[in-house]
Structure 1
Amino acid sequence: MSVLISLLPDFILIVLGRLLKKGVAEAAWVGIDRLNYMILFPSLIFISALGRQPAAADLLTIGLGVWSIILLGMGLAWLVRPLGPERFLDFAGTWQTAWRFNTALGFVAIQALPEGARALLSIAIGLAVPLANILAVSALSRGQAMSLSRTLVQVVTNPFLLASVGGMTLSILDVTLPHLVRAPLEHLAVSALPIALLSIGAALDWRALMRLDPFMLAINAIKLLILPGAAYLVTWAIGLSPLHASVLVVFAALPTASASHVLASVFGADRQIVATLIAQTTMIGCFTLPLWLMLVT
């Protein structure tokens, strides 16, 4: 119930974005997405990756776990490629929703777990964001028929990747940022999600929200049922510690990230279908995530 209540403000902002759509020019929404891509979301990712110095054992265990979850989501979603959009760029925009994750909701959900889980989730996010963005940017760049060299440039210079690697590196080195540097970044980070949710509401096809075609049904099933189910079974089978296993299951059960919409918009993919998948996984996740939390606790 606490997870469900925590998601209500997100839905309110999505609805508000829909109400603002006609009063704001389309070019302004494009500019908003660009601002999120270049400044706001990188600030959020950087701040999320900062934390206390992680232990080597936690880095290895959580790192292997989240990378396996991301790659599994990517592989499973590729299998339903024939059901998705015909143009590869549009498919790439939706493909990324199968392995990306809602960072903010993760920190809400993790409060249901014992002390120490939040630190492990911070490690999970810090290690997962670089791989998630490398895969997403690579797919979207290839969807634009970019050369291999241009694709590599897009990946290496991606603001999300630079922010996550920078934040995780400072955490591993146990570097503390001065207040005058960290405070402005925290202010920018706070504004990233609300602005992204407004843009999602403006781009959302509300008639399609309740219409789960085979492709959307498959993506939702992969993201909200298959990935956490696989994480639960594998961590139980190998005898992973309950705390580490619980964090990995919660990570796998998170709805997709609103950053998926930001990337799709910037690269020119169909942002409407991506916005619909984000809203669908968030709405359905209101019911599936509490069930996974009940299971692991």
Structure 2
Amino acid sequence: MEVFVRLLALLVVLLLGTGLRTLGVLDAGRTARLNAVAYYVALPALIFVSTYDRAIGELLSPALFGGLLLVLFATAGLAWMVHRRRASRARQSVAVVQSYHSNLGYLGLPLVAATFDATVTAIASVVLGVVTLIQLPLTVLVLSTLNGADAALGAELRSLARNPVLGALLAGLAIGSIGFSVPAPAVTGLDLVGSLALPLALLCVGASLQFDLPSVDVGATGSIIALKIVCMPLLAWLVFSTLDVDTATLTATVVMFGTPTAVSTFVFAAELGGDSEFASLNVFATTLVSMATLFLLITLVG
């Protein structure tokens, strides 16, 4: 019941963001500023606090790294098989990337931190870092190749070096690995800031969700929902159960891969020739349905 109430509260905050956008309270400028606070301040603080007292060897094992690669590329391969016959390249490219590109930062990690203990949260931070380094270039490559768009992949890779989320992860793991002691007041302050990551992120995601019912392609959107929030976490469960990892790793990976399609896929679709209206609809649909599937996943692995 506690998990259900928590996820219901998340859904309320998400829909609140959508409502505030509709009323004009969260316009594009205010949403961008709120997004900046979440992305550059709250989320990095959450990641740092989760990892600063743990050595990298405790969190990133060969089994975790290999399992993450296997789940991501296996889901991407399944997505290609399912969507390869779609008539529109613009829609096909979006369908493929939105079937595997997870909302790990704005929903996955904050949700794990609010639901599970520090060990699971620390592993989820590493999952965020590793998968982001792979899924972002992969998404740019798929969209630009299928749509014939001119994408500066090198620029996207260089932007990862300036990514505050990855920077916070590396800083936390480095400090944890050398055993440096962080002052308690600093940890308390960062922990307080990090606790704002989930509500801020949900408001931003809610303010970004848009859809047009007459344009709904039920078959395509249904396939994306099935692949992203049903098949991907089940595949993660199978892979990491087979690898015989500890409970914390299994929990973190299954929940993180059970998150909906990332809002950033809409931005990439708009920039690289994808069907942006279709992309927006799928972000909304996977996010809404994931509230139920995440409840089930958290109940099972928790």
TM-score (norm 1): 0.73
Separation of aligned partners in 2, 1:88 and 1:41: 32
2:17 matches 1:17: yes
Offset, 1:6: 1.0
Q: 1:229 is matched with which residue: 227, 230, 234?
A: 234
CA–CA distance in structure 1, aligned partners of residues 218 and 151 of structure 2? 30
The letter of the residue matching 2:2 is: S
Distance, in Å, in 1 between the alignment partners of 2:239 and 2:136 is 29
CA contact 1:80–1:215 (8 Å) conserved in 2:
no
| In structure 1, C-alpha distance between the alignment counterparts of 2:187 and 2:56, rounded to whole Å | 20
Map of 2:160 onto structure 1: 155
Is 1:247 aligned to 2:248, yes or no? no
RMSD of aligned alpha carbons: 4.0
Q: Summarize the alignment of residues 259-278 of structure 1 with structure 2, pairs less than 5 Å apart.
A: 260-261=262-263, 265=267, 276-278=281-283
Q: Which runs of 5+ in 2 are unaligned?
A: none
Matched, 1:203 2:208: yes
CA 1:274/1:163 → structure 2, altered by over 3 Å: closer, same or farther?
farther
Aligned equivalent of 1:70? 72
1:280 is matched by which residue type in structure 2?
A: A
Which blocks of at least 5 consecutive residues in structure 1 are unaligned?
A: 112-117
- The normalised TM-score by structure 2 is 0.72
Q: Which residue of 1 aligns with 2:121?
A: 122
- CA apart distance, 1:102: 1.1
The separation in 2 between residues aligned to 1:264 and 1:51, in whole angstroms, is 36
Corresponding residue to 1:97 among 80, 98, 101: 101
Structure 1 residue aligned with 2:32, among 8, 14, 30?
Answer: 30
Q: Deviations over 1:230-263 (max 9, x none)?
A: 233344555x266367426633653237xx3268
| Conservation of the 8 A alpha-carbon contact between 1:97 and 1:278 | no
Assess, with a 3 A threshold, how the Cα gap between structure 1 residues 264 and 164 changes in structure 2: closer, same or farther.
Answer: farther
Work out whether 1:39 is the aligned partner of 2:41.
Answer: yes
**Contact 2:68/2:131 (8 A) holds in 1:** no
> Residue 196 of structure 2: SS of its match in structure 1?
helix
Show the 5 A alignment for 1:278-289: 278-289=283-294
SS of residue in 2 equivalent to 1:97: coil
SS at match of 2:90: coil
Using the TM superposition, give the Cα deviation of residue 136 of structure 1 relative to its aligned residue in structure 2, in angstroms: 4.1
2-structure distance, mates of 1:169, 1:151 = 24
Contact 1:32 1:199 in 2 (8 A): yes
Q: Which moved more, 1:196-205 or 1:38-47?
A: 38-47
Percent of aligned pairs with the same amino acid: 20
